[in-house]
Amino acid sequence: MNTHALEFRNVSKVYETDGGDRLAALDEVSFVIEPGKTVAIVGRSGSGKSTLLHMAAGIDIPTSGDVSIDGQLLADLSEGDRTLLRRNRIGLIFQFFYLMQHLSVYDNVALPSMIAGDAPGLVEPRVMELLERVGMADRSRDRVQKLSGGEMQRVAICRALLKRPRLLLADEPTGNLDDENGRMVMELILSLAREENGTLIYVTHSPDFAGMADETMQIHSGKVIA
């Protein structure tokens, strides 16, 4: 049976402020994304874009409604199982690279498999394959603190793709880069996601970068409007 890569059904997320007010970050959001699609999410700051990605990754849970990945309802999973889901089936790329500065390029990419206890002999070919594809194989033993911002994001992309995730989520992946590096990184994410037959959802403020996706989803005040 074919299943959607990601589905939101009437998803709302409400936060309570320190003053006791209720703030709706998402309001009755519903959509489906098919496997292999690339989708750009656009909208003003505070519109709910990052909240939507957090829901998709199971980092946060809805106040109401359902989120499912490949037909798996996230509400049916414990917090521990959602963590395993992120580790094994979801790749995450952020604006800030979240690399371990004291580790080498290689070790940063391999880190998810180290945590999972995968055999090093099985991990090394995949790490080097990814680094080769992003032009970083010759830097594999360098510490990441020696890298430029664009190089750090390439390492972060490799780490996100290490375990061949079916779903790749990127939150403003070019937001911390200059225009030239930003375009290079965005093109790299898109090409690698397609080569890996993954589903890519990314948040961007750039109309040009949004136009690279198969589809664009616009969010305004917590609602999907296009």
Which residue would you say has higher pLDDT here, 159 or 225?
Answer: 159
**Residues 84-88, mean pLDDT to the nearest whole number:** 88
- CB burial of residue 106 (10 Å; 0-12, 13-18, 19+): buried
- Superfamily designation of domain 6-224: P-loop containing nucleotide triphosphate hydrolases (3.40.50.300)
Judged by DSSP in three states, 226 sits in: coil
Structure tokens at 95: 């604006």
What per-residue confidence (pLDDT) applies to 2?
61
pTM over 0.75: yes
Which residues make Cβ contacts (< 8 Å) with residue 148, sequence separation at least 6?
A: 181
Average pLDDT, rounded, for the chain = 91
Q: Tens of pLDDT along 178-217?
A: 888 899 999 999 999 999 889 999 999 999 999 999 999 9
Q: Tens of pLDDT along 10-34?
A: 999 998 887 778 888 999 999 999 9
